[in-house]
Amino acid sequence: MSNPLKLKKLGLCLGNQQTFLTEITHSPESIEVTNLIDLDLVHPFNFNTINNEEILEGIGNILKESLSFDKKSNVELSISIDYSMAIIKHVPVDNSLKSNELENHIQWELQQHIISPVEEYDSDFQKLPKIPNNKYPSIITVAVKKKIIDAVKYISKIANLKLDLIDINIFSAINALEVNYKIKPTEKTALIETGKNRLIFIILEGTNFLGFHPAHLVSHLSPDEEIPTEKIFDEISKNLRFLISDYETGDDKKEFDRIYLYKTNKNINLNDILSKDTENKFEILNPLKNLKISSELKEKMDPLSDYSEHTVSVGLVIRK
Instruction: Report pLDDT for 196.
Output: 82
297-315 burial by CB neighbour count: b if 16+ within 10 A, else e? eeeeeeeeebbbbbbbbbb
Distance, CA of 9 to chain centre: 17
Say which range, 94-108, 115-129, 218-232, 235-249, has the weakest mean pLDDT: 218-232
- pLDDT at residue 267 in the model: 82
**pLDDT for res 250:** 57
Question: What values do phi and psi take at 186, rounded to 5?
Answer: -95, 0
Report the share of the chain in percent with pLDDT over 90. 56
Contacts of 200 (CB under 8 A, 6+ apart): 83, 170, 192, 193, 212, 213, 214, 215
Mean pLDDT, the chain, rounded, equals 87
Percent pLDDT > 70 in the chain is: 89
- In the structure, what pLDDT confidence band is assigned to residue 132 with cuts at 50, 70 and 90? low
Q: What is the pLDDT of residue 114?
A: 83
**pLDDT beyond 50 at 1:** no
Helix (H) or strand (E) holding 264, with range, is none
pLDDT, one tens digit per residue, over 69-89 is 665 567 899 999 999 999 998
Which amino acid is it at 289? K
The pLDDT of residue 72 is 55
Q: Which residues contact 263 (CB under 8 A, 6 or more apart)?
A: 193, 194, 195, 270, 306, 308, 309
Q: At what angle do helices 53-66 and 146-158 cross, to 10 degrees?
A: 40
Q: What is the pLDDT of residue 2?
A: 47
312 falls in which pLDDT band (50, 70, 90)?
very high
Q: Whole-prediction pTM value?
A: 0.90
Calpha distance 113→143 (Å, rounded): 10
Q: Decide if 96 contacts 78 (C-beta within 8 A).
A: no
* Confidence (pLDDT) at 226: 73
The mean-pLDDT minimum among 191-205, 252-266, 284-298, 303-317 falls in 252-266
For residue 19, give every residue at least 6 positions away whose Cβ sits within 8 Å of its Cβ, in sequence order, or none: 12, 13, 38, 39, 40, 41, 45
- More confident call, 151 vs 222: 151
Task: Please give the average per-residue pLDDT across 264-286, as a whole number.
Answer: 91
Model pLDDT, residue 131: 58
Ordered alpha helix ranges (H), the chain: 53-66, 99-111, 146-158, 169-180, 229-246, 270-276, 295-300, 311-317
Task: Write down the pLDDT at residue 106.
Answer: 80
What are the chain's domains? 1-85+144-181+285-320 (3.30.420.40), 86-143 (3.30.1490.300), 183-284 (3.30.420.40)
* Average pLDDT score over residue span 170-174: 96
For residue 127, the model assigns a pLDDT of: 78
38-70 residue pLDDT tens? 998 888 899 999 999 999 999 999 999 998 766
Most confident among 163-172, 246-255, 264-273 (mean pLDDT): 163-172
